[in-house]
Chain A
Amino acid sequence: MSKEYETVIGLEVHVELATKTKIFCGCSTAFGAEPNAHTCPVCTGMPGSLPVLNKQVVEYAMAVGIATNCNITQYCKFDRKNYFYPDNPQNYQISQLYLPICRDGYVEIKGENGTKKVGIHEIHMEEDAGKLIHSEWDDCSMVDYNRSGVPLIEIVSEPDMRSADEVIAYLDKLRLIIQYLGASDCKLNEGSMRADVNLSVREVGAKEFGTRTEMKNLNSFKAIARAIENERERQIDLIESGEAVVQETRRWDDNKEYSYAMRSKEDAQDYRYFPEPDLVPIVISDEWIDEVKSRQPELRDEKMARYEADYKIPAYDADIITSSKKMADIFEQTVELGANPKKVSNYLMGETMRLLKENDMDADEISFSPKNLAALIKLIDAGTINSSVAKEVFEKIFSDDIEPEKYVEENGLKMDNDEDGLRKIIEEVVAANPQSVEDYRNGKEKAIGFLVGQTMKATKGKANPGIINKILKELL
Chain B
Amino acid sequence: MGILDFTAVELAEKIKSKEVSVREAVDAVLEQIDKTEENYNCYVTVDREGAIKKAEEVQKKIDAGEIDGPLAGVPVAIKDNMCTEGLLTTCSSKILGNFIPTFSSEAVLNLEKAGAVIIGKTNMDEFAMGSTTETSAYGVTRNPRNPEHVPGGSSGGSAAAVAANECFYALGSDTGGSIRQPAGYCGVVGMKPTYSTVSRYGLIAYGSSLDQIGPLSKDVRDCATILEVIASHDPKDSTSVKRDDTDFTSALVEDVKGMKIGIPKDYLGEGLDPEVRDAVLKAAEVLKDKGAIIEEFDLGLVEYAIPAYYTIAAAEASSNLERFDGIKYGYRTEEFTDLHNMYKKTRSEGFGPEVKRRIMLGSFVLSSGYYDAYYLKALRVKALIKKAFDDAFAKYDVILGPVAPTTAPKLGESLSDPIKMYLGDIYTISLNLAGLPGICLPCGEDSNGLPIGLQLIGDCFKEKNIIRAAFTYEQSVK
Chain A residues at the B interface, C-beta cutoff of 8 Å: 41, 44-53, 80, 82, 84, 86, 89-92, 143, 270, 272-274, 277-280
Contacts of A48 in B (CB 8 A): 82-83, 101, 103, 105, 201-205
**B324 contacts across to A, CB distance below 8 A:** 47
Given the known interface contacts A52-B236, A86-B339, A272-B367, the answer about A47 and B204 at a Cβ–Cβ threshold of 8 Å is yes
B402 to chain A, nearest CB (A): 29
* Chain B residue with the shortest CB-CB distance to A25: B236
Residues of B contacting A84 with CB < 8 Å? 322, 325, 340, 343
Beyond A45-B323, A86-B339, A280-B239: 17 further Cβ-contacts under 8 Å? A41-B102, A46-B102, A46-B328, A47-B101, A47-B324, A48-B205, A49-B202, A50-B200, A50-B201, A53-B238, A89-B328, A91-B322, A273-B366, A274-B319, A277-B208, A278-B239, A280-B238
- CB-based contact A90/B238 at 8 Å: no
Is B209's beta carbon under 8 Å from chain A?
Answer: yes
B237 within 8 A of A: yes
Docked CA distance A86–B329 (Å): 12
B236 & A50 in contact (Cβ 8 Å cutoff):
yes
Known: A48-B201, A278-B208. A270 touches B367 (CB 8 A): yes
Q: How far is the CB of A24 from chain B (nearest CB, A)?
A: 9
Given A41-B102, A272-B319, A277-B316 in contact, is the A47-B325 Cβ separation under 8 Å? no
Question: With A82-B319, A277-B316 in contact, is A41–B238 under 8 Å at CB?
Answer: no
Which residue in chain A gives the minimum CB-CB distance to B235? A52
Is residue B375 within 8 Å, beta carbon to beta carbon, of the partner chain? yes
Number of B interface residues at 8 Å Cβ cutoff, please give it: 44
B99 at the binding interface (Cβ < 8 Å): yes
Kindly name the residue among A48, A89, A270, A280 whose own CB sees the greatest number of chain B CB atoms within 10 A: A48
Task: Determine the distance from Cα of A52 to Cα of B236 in the docked complex, in whole angstroms.
Answer: 6
Are B343 and A278 in contact, with the CB atoms below 8 A? no
Residues A47 and B83 in contact in the complex (CB < 8 Å), given A41-B103, A91-B325 = yes
- B-side contacts of A273, CB under 8 Å: 366, 371
In B288-335, the 8 Å CB interface with A consists of 315-316, 318-319, 322-325, 327-329
The docked-state distance in angstroms from the alpha carbon of A51 to that of B325 is 20
Which 9 pairs from chain A and chain B are nearest by CB? A91-B322, A272-B366, A277-B208, A277-B209, A48-B202, A48-B83, A47-B204, A90-B323, A270-B368
Assess the A272–B363 pair: CB atoms within 8 A. yes
Instruction: Provide the main secondary structure of the chain A interface.
Output: loop
Q: Check if B71 is an interface residue, CB within 8 A of chain A.
A: no
B456 within 8 A of A: no
Q: Determine whether the beta carbon of A52 is less than 8 Å from that of B238.
A: yes
Contacting A at CB under 8 A, from B187-214, are 200-205, 207-209
Q: Residues of A contacting B328 with CB < 8 Å?
A: 44-46, 89
Name B201's closest neighbour in chain A (CB-CB). Answer: A50
Cα–Cα distance between A293 and B416 once the two chains are bound (Å): 61
Q: Are A274 and B371 in contact (CB under 8 A)?
A: yes
Find the residue from B91, B96, B328, B329 having the highest chain A CB count within 10 A.
Answer: B328
**Of all chain B residues, which has the CB nearest A44?**
B328
What separation, in Å, do the CA atoms of A91 and B235 have in the docked complex?
24
Q: Could you show 12 A-B contacts with beta carbons less than 8 Å apart?
A: A48-B83, A48-B103, A52-B235, A82-B322, A84-B343, A89-B323, A89-B328, A90-B323, A91-B325, A272-B363, A272-B367, A274-B366
CA–CA, A45 to B319, complex, Å? 12
Q: Which of A45, A46, A143, A279 meets B238, CB within 8 Å?
A: A279
Docked CA distance A41–B324 (Å): 14
- Chain B residues with CB under 8 Å of A89's CB are 323, 327-328
Known: A270-B367, A274-B319. Contact between A86 and B327, CB under 8 A? Answer: yes
Contact B99 A47 (CB under 8 A): yes
A472 vs chain B, min Cβ distance (A): 78
Chain B residues with CB under 8 Å of A51's CB are 238
Cβ B319 vs Cβ A92 within 8 A: yes
The residue of chain A having its C-beta at the shortest distance from the C-beta of B241 within the complex is: A280
A44 contact set on B, CB distance < 8 A: 328
Separation in Å of the B101 CB from the closest CB of chain A?
7
Expressed in whole angstroms, the Cα–Cα distance for A47 and B81 within the complex equals: 9
Candidate in A46, A86, A279 with the most chain B CB atoms within 10 angstroms: A46
CB proximity of B280 to chain A, nearest CB, Å: 33
A277→B209 CA distance, assembly (Å): 5
Complex alpha-carbon distance, A84 and B325, angstroms: 8
| Residue from the set A44, A50, A53, A91 with the largest chain B CB neighbour count within 10 Å | A50
Complex CA gap A44/B101 in Å reads: 13
Q: Check A278–B238 contact: CB distance below 8 A.
A: yes
For B327, list chain A residues within 8 Å (CB): 86, 89, 143
**Minimum distance in angstroms from B95 CB to a CB of chain A:** 10
Q: Give the distance in Å from the alpha carbon of A437 to the alpha carbon of B140 in the complex.
A: 111
